[in-house]
A and B are shown apart, each in its own frame.
Chain A
Amino acid sequence: MTPSDKNLSQCCSSKCISPDMNWKELTKAGNIYTPGNASTYETGDWRTIRPVWDEERCIHCLICWRYCPDASIISTGGKFDSFDYKHCKGCGICANVCPAHAIEMISEDEIEKQKEAQKDEE
């Protein structure tokens, strides 16, 4: 379970909101009754460029983890683990501050093309 998934499950108590709810199910006036629920709002689809990790270059200094404004660098056991692509907005700060040049920002269009190419090969 990633940290964001954990927040999600905590939030989905009685008064949680989600975009598939109708006007009767939503809380009055958009009132928010549960703290720490920003994670339920997925901002990953705002991204036009995505950070891609180069495992061989990474020195696990976690400077990216400190700088990320959206808590989208996931670390485990004091080491870089992965990006939270559900929330990463693709700002590129992590790539900019990385002293080992282990993060590359790649266009989402490029990623799409690569995925399609892979599908064709399969």
Chain B
Amino acid sequence: MKNKVALTGNEAVAQAMRQINPDVVAAYPITPSTEVVQMFSSFVANGKVDTEFVTVESEHSAMSATMGASAAGARAMTCTSSQGLAYMFEVVYIAASMRLPIVFPVANRALSGPINIHCDHSDAMGIKQAGVIQLFSENAQEAYDNMIQAIRIAEHPDVQLPVSVNYDGFITSHALDVLEILDDETVKNFIGVYKPREALLNVNEPVSMGSFDMYDYYFEHKYQQVAAMEAAKRVIEEVGKEYAKISGRNYGLVDAYKLDDADMAVVVMNSAAGSSKGVCDELRAKGLKVGVLKPRAFRPFPHEAIADALKGVKAVAVLDRAETFSTLGGPMFADVRNSLYDLKNDIKVVNYVYGLGGRDLRLEDVEQIYSDLDDIIKTGKVDNFVRYLGLRE
């Protein structure tokens, strides 16, 4: 049975966690994901879940305790944002290398400094090479749906990796949105009972995890993580197809919006994809051949799907809500441009760094981007391929 409700992104994520009913949650609150932890703790206090809730003193401890619980054989989760994720950074790598299927929502927020609490993707981009799967969500519905699917993806025998579910801080986390939530029983059946393949508390089959790894093994173990990421691309699609059967909503590695006959495309993740689709519809009504590509998975990077979706376009604008200070553009720009290189189609690819520290991406801004792409196609020239959208110059 489908249930239409009005919830904020944080409430939707907390509801997903209630339905997942994990064995252990260890978390420390941080803006803008505070409410997830706060609401979940009330579920624990009111007996709505069977979870052992661990109130830790920091995010470093939050991920450490979650990792310990996961290694012990529990379905374990945490939740964070921004500085919290930065503080967690060290342990995120260890959770990934120990191949622990921990699912953790991240309400995306800028990193200090300057001190700022608003939306951008700097926190998530900081862990893009940590070895965790990163899913991005356009709205509260997708944040909820990604949470449920993340459990199946993380725990798949070919994957066994942490999954972070990203959604925009404040824009998605705090805005009220209408979405459909599945009934508890459907979610319970979809995620199934967690049967860890090895567990520290299983005394019948003892195991040591996280051992010291010298140069004669470390390289092979890191490659095992690469292979798991490669497998994750297939698993994300498989789980998406299965989820469509219970929800009616389709999920793949990317969301290609009106790209079939498009000349110009905007590549963008999270809530800004919704704004871009709105502008895309308006321009389509005026007869312009425009489209939007929204990567849902950023790690693993679905480069095959992206190259396939963009192979017919003439100009692409990649929107990054994070800076890399490489002076060569944002993190997604590098990956998208790399993905298109072997097509040899002479697709013009430009980068727009936008919305840092929570600055709004307005509909006019997206219109301007499409207009710039139109100029690029007409003149065949790109003056400056890394642009800072709305920067006062």
Contact = CB atoms under 8 A, between A and B. Distances in A.
A35 B209 CA distance: 12
Interface residues of B, number: 20
B98 A32 contact: no
B208 interface: yes
Nearest to A29: B99
A107 B162 CA distance: 49
Interface of A: 17, 19, 21-23, 26, 28-33, 35
Interface in B202-253: 205-211, 213, 216-217, 220-221, 223-224, 227
Contacts of B206: 33, 35
Interface of B: 97-99, 160, 198, 205-211, 213, 216-217, 220-221, 223-224, 227
B220 A29 contact: no
Contacts of B99: 28-29
Which label, helix, strand, loop or mixed, suits the secondary structure of the B interface?
loop
A31 B224 contact: no
A77 B221 CA distance: 43
Among A26, A28, A29, A35, max chain B CB count under 10 A is at A29
Contact of A30 (B160, B205, B217): B217
A26 B220 contact: yes
Given A19-B216, A23-B227, A30 B221 contact: yes
Chain A, interface SS category: loop
Contact of B217 (A26, A28, A33, A35): A26
A26 B224 CA distance: 9
B208 A22 contact: no
A30 B213 contact: yes
A23 B207 contact: no
Contacts of B224: 23, 26, 28-29
Contacts of A28: 99, 160, 224
A80 B179 CA distance: 77
A32 B98 CA distance: 12
